[in-house]
Amino acid sequence: MTNPALGGGGEGPGSVTVASRMSGYLRGGGVLVPVMTALLAFAFGGLVVLATGANPISTYKAIFEGSGLNWLFPWVSGEDRLLAGLNLQQTLILTAPLILTGLAVAFAFRAGLFNIGGQGQYLVGSFAAVYVGSSLDGLPALAHVVLAIVAGCVVGGLWAGIAGLLKATTGANEVITTIMLNWTAIYLGKYAFGLNGPLQNSDPTQQSIPVSNDVLASAKLPVFWGDPELQGLHIGIFIALLVTVLFWVLLNRSVTGYEVRAVGFNPDAAEYGGINAGRSYVKVMVICGVLAGLAGAIDVLGWQFRVATNDIDVSLIGFYGIAVALLGRNTAVGTVIAALLFGALLNGTSVRNLDPTIFDPQLATNLATIIQGLIVLFVSAPVLVTYLPDRLRRRRRRKSQAVATVEAG
């Protein structure tokens, strides 16, 4: 008997929800499908480049160099190496929040939920972190940083918890509620940090600018590679990697993770094991919100140092998290790799990093969005990707049979 409070109506086993489809995707196949998915998306992206009259191969090469990943090649030296290092710092700065928003989506998928609210959770996390980081002057540095990060996590967790609570108590579909909470977060931010908003900066010379106060030096994340003045790489990437390890332990080695996965696969059987599915939904959404909120906090405390209403409009880190999680098959390691891929792609196509003589950076930014969209499309319709390997496998089998018949005859 599906508890009506949990099932949201007719989500028994067998009925296909988006979340169940996506968790099905993570179960089938190994590494091949995500690699094929990415390659196929890049190939289609190449066709788009071709259509604009540019050369796709040199474009991708330029994007690769723009991402700074060529720093990993030992033969790159001198001036090139210096530039590659700077680029790689930017790529990793983007990778860190992508890992976290990716995990925020992946964790929900593993629990049978579709968290589209990563963006909103990321935003409220950044709001809370910027507020704490820009106030409380005089606090020792370590305490200030930790406090600001915790603020981002807590507010992000509470924000997502609303969706979990609504699902557990009323059966409201989390897809709808998290989307709505995204908009709520966006407009909340535009109001709070906008002109004459309650959290707009208090600098009398900047009253015409809709931004927050700047994060104080004591709340900034330390930079360990590159120049802090030139947006060097802050320790956020280590925080993200550490959280990835915790994510893995939580999901695969903890009692909570066992319960979460049981509910994700089969809420009825979980209930039979004494697991309260409703409570699990709330717990899961809070954890997702903490992860996305942390992403917002490290962005604000690591390199943005302020929240501007313009940035709220254009920020897509939370949404990219969906593609990151899907490409990473909702696993810890997969998410890190996918986040690096997207970080490199976003940075490599940025106006600043791409050589305009090879490909117009304005177009290139759209290329990143196109590739992201294609990846989500291919993951949602895996047939598009698996058709080819299936065909090959079948042909190989037929051929080996033919050989066997010949040998027998």
Residues of the shown chain interacting with another protein in the complex, contacts defined by CB under 8 A: 1-2, 4, 12-13, 27, 249, 253-258, 261-262, 265-266, 268-274, 397, 401
> Coil, helix or strand for 117?
coil
Q: Which two tokens stand for residue 26?
A: 């993570």
Least distance to another protein, CB of residue 214, Å: 40
| 26 DSSP assignment | H
Instruction: State which residue, 257 or 289, has the beta carbon closest to another protein.
Output: 257
| 274 DSSP assignment | T
What residues does 233 pair with on adjacent strands?
225
Least distance to another protein, CB of residue 108, Å: 17
Q: Which two tokens stand for residue 251?
A: 């999901």
Q: Which residues contact 213 (CB under 8 A, 6 or more apart)?
A: 130, 134, 135, 199, 201, 202, 203, 306
Least distance to another protein, CB of residue 169, Å: 16
Instruction: State which residue, 27 or 352, has the beta carbon closest to another protein.
Output: 27
Instruction: State which residue, 262 or 295, has the beta carbon closest to another protein.
Output: 262
Report the amino acid identity of residue 333.
V
Instruction: State which residue, 250 or 377, has the beta carbon closest to another protein.
Output: 250
Q: Residue 131: exposed, middle, or buried by beta-carbon count in 10 A (0-12, 13-18, 19+)?
A: buried
Q: Which residues contact 196 (CB under 8 A, 6 or more apart)?
A: none
Instruction: State which residue, 138 or 274, has the beta carbon closest to another protein.
Output: 274
Instruction: State which residue, 1 or 47, has the beta carbon closest to another protein.
Output: 1
Instruction: State which residue, 4 or 356, has the beta carbon closest to another protein.
Output: 4
Instruction: State which residue, 281 or 320, has the beta carbon closest to another protein.
Output: 281
Least distance to another protein, CB of residue 397, Å: 7
Helices (H), 76-219: 78-110, 118-134, 141-170, 174-193
- What is d(CA 193, CA 199) in angstroms, rounded to the nearest whole number? 5
Q: Which two tokens stand for residue 294?
A: 């942390």
- What is d(CA 259, CA 234) in angstroms, rounded to the nearest whole number? 35
Query: H or E element: which one contains 360?
Result: none
Instruction: Judge contact between 113 and 285, C-beta under 8 A.
Output: yes
Q: Which residue has the tokens 């899961």?
A: 284
Least distance to another protein, CB of residue 77, Å: 47
Instruction: State which residue, 144 or 261, has the beta carbon closest to another protein.
Output: 261
Q: Which two tokens stand for residue 358?
A: 């090879």
Least distance to another protein, CB of residue 13, Å: 6
Least distance to another protein, CB of residue 327, Å: 21
User: Between the CA atoms of 205, 211, 213 and 219, what dihedral angle is there, to the nearest 10 degrees?
Assistant: -140
Least distance to another protein, CB of residue 281, Å: 17
Instruction: State which residue, 253 or 399, has the beta carbon closest to another protein.
Output: 253
Least distance to another protein, CB of residue 118, Å: 25
Least distance to another protein, CB of residue 255, Å: 5
Instruction: Judge contact between 11 and 97, C-beta under 8 A.
Output: no
Query: In whole angstroms, what separates CA 48 from the centre of its chain?
Result: 25
| 302 DSSP assignment | I
